[in-house]
Amino acid sequence: MQTRLVFGVVVALLPAIAGAESWPTWRGPNANAVAPAGKYPTELNDQTKAWEVELPGVGSSTPVVWGDAIYLTASQDDQELVCSYTLDGKQRWQVALPGAAQAKHRNATPSNPSAVCDGEHVVAYFKSGDVICLTTDGRELWRKNLQEAYGDDSLWWDLGTSPVITSAGAVIAVMQNEIGYLVTLDLETGQELWRVDRTYPRPSESDQAYTTPTVIQDGGAEVIVTWGADHLTGHDAASGALLWECGGFNPEDKGQWRVIASATIADGVAYVPHGRGDFLGAVRVVGPHDATEQERWLWRVDGVGSDVPSPLIEAGKIFILKDSGVLCCVDAASGQTRWEERLPRSRRRYFSSPLLAGGVLYCVREDGAVVSASVDEGYRFLSETFLGDDSVATPTPIDGGLLFRTRTKLIRFQAN
């Protein structure tokens, strides 16, 4: 069933974009998991595999790329690791922090969050609460523990949110049991620039979120859009001031509605999976800050959504993958489903967010199977390839190739 709400003119979103060859954060410079135009390998096999390396520890974060370097996090025994590799798979450096916290979920590690890079700094965040900032050549600038500074971890499960970088500093969202906040840390010193409360009293577990904020431009201002605790919010990146908030995602105040899939933003609209994968909503995130909740909501559909994988948007089409392997293509303007297909059946789940590269969607299952499908015009299955190791990381585009991070390996495939 579809509920049509208020429509209006949407102001164009102007994201800050890194260099064409960079993929500086989880899901890329636009936080949308759509790769730059180019040729990418549609077959993942020995002929297209460029290299494969064993990582020094286990991990579930997504690799990021800036220029000629790859950055990722891992954990080994009681150590948290930040590692850098060249584009041909040679390790550049490795930095270790003691005191890794133990993960709870079978697919999780102490290093779930992905690193972020701005070309000068690499920021990483770990389950222990440790935040570390390094130069791109591996020199430590500072480290800070958020749990020691602001309170213990009270999430029921493991960390999911990754840090993001604004013109002010490194931003981390903490949305957990009975407490939520956003904090920005100075990139050179680690000093707190601002911290604002983001606590919404919600039923049991519905106040908890594993999502990553998105940084957008709205009328020349930098805004941090955050999804969690049944609310979508916009904060001024320079001061942390709350600019606007939008609820209405959980009108019956249901418990256990924690959110894992992040919102995806395109053309000034956030597409928000919620209700444990049963709903998808479209909410305007640019324009007048005093817009009412009714004015912000554009549409909401039920029966379409995702619990863990985040959606992506290309050419007015939303691609959304359910954990079960059901893939939907939804019209971004109306919320109507264009088509729905099931990926190859398996008892294992899809916890990785998909990547769109060269008109091909790459979906990684938790057992390390990669399903590729052409989605330019409808759905056409291409291949199913096994990486040989479990994986929940999102694929990373890299100079005409793709990086896949499994629990213990880093693998690059290249177009022929």
Give residue-wise pLDDT tens across range 189-220.
999 999 999 999 887 877 788 999 999 999 99
CB 264 within 8 A of CB 270: yes
Residue 111's pLDDT is: 79
Residues of the domain holding 155: 2-414
130 touches 145 (CB < 8 A)? yes
pLDDT the model gives residue 104: 57
User: Which residues face 302 on adjacent strands?
Assistant: 279
SS3 percent helix, strand, coil of the chain, rounded to 5, is 0, 45, 55
Burial (CB count within 10 angstroms: exposed 0-12, middle 13-18, buried 19+), residue 111? buried
Cα-flanking dihedrals φ and ψ of residue 296, to 5°? -75, -40
pLDDT band at 257 (very low <50, low <70, confident <90, very high): confident
d(CA 329, CA 339): 5
DSSP run (H or E) holding 149: helix 146-150
Does residue 6 have a pLDDT over 90? no
221: three-class secondary structure by DSSP: strand
Whether 53 and 70 have beta carbons less than 8 Å apart is answered as no
Whether 396 and 411 have beta carbons less than 8 Å apart is answered as: no
**Rounded to whole angstroms, how far apart are CA atoms 93 and 404?**
20
CA distance to 39, 213, 296, 348, per residue, from 232 (Å): 36, 10, 10, 31
Average pLDDT of every residue of the chain: 91
Residues 120-129: b if buried by 16+ CB within 10 A, e if exposed: ebbbbbbbbb
pLDDT in tens, 367-396: 999 999 999 999 999 999 999 999 999 999
Residues 6 or more apart in contact with residue 8 via CB below 8 angstroms: 284, 295, 298
Q: Which residues pair with 246 in a beta bridge?
A: 232
The predicted pLDDT at position 394 comes to 97
User: What confidence tier does 331 reach under pLDDT thresholds 50, 70, 90?
Assistant: very high
Q: How far is CA 8 from the centre of its chain?
A: 28
Average confidence (pLDDT) over 18-42: 87
Tens digit of each residue's pLDDT (9 = 90 or more) over 289-305? 999 999 999 999 999 99
- Per the structure, how many domains does the chain have? 1
- Would you say residue 161 has pLDDT above 80? yes
**Mean pLDDT score, 129-143:** 97
Q: Which pLDDT tens digit goes with each residue over 166-176?
A: 999 999 999 88
The structure tokens listed for 12 are 């164009």
pLDDT at 204: 81
Q: Which residue's structure tokens are 């003691």?
A: 98
Helix (H) or strand (E) holding 148: helix 146-150
| CATH number of the domain encompassing residue 206 | 2.130.10.10
- Please report which residue ranges of 164-318 form alpha helices under DSSP H: 293-296
Q: What confidence score (pLDDT) does residue 105 get?
A: 57
Instruction: Identify the bridge partners of residue 322 per DSSP, sorted by sequence position.
Output: none
Which two tokens mark 262?
């992040």
Residue among 111, 113, 131 nearest 121 (CA): 131
Is residue 13 very low, low, confident or very high in pLDDT (cuts 50, 70, 90)? very low
Inform me whether the pLDDT recorded for 9 exceeds 60.
Answer: no
The sign of the CA dihedral 353, 357, 361, 364 is negative
Residue 156: the pLDDT is 55
Calculate what percentage of the chain has a pLDDT beyond 90: 80
* Per-residue model confidence as pLDDT tens digits over 308-326: 999 999 999 999 999 999 9
Helices (H) and strands (E) in the chain, counts: 2, 33
Indicate the residue type of 118: D
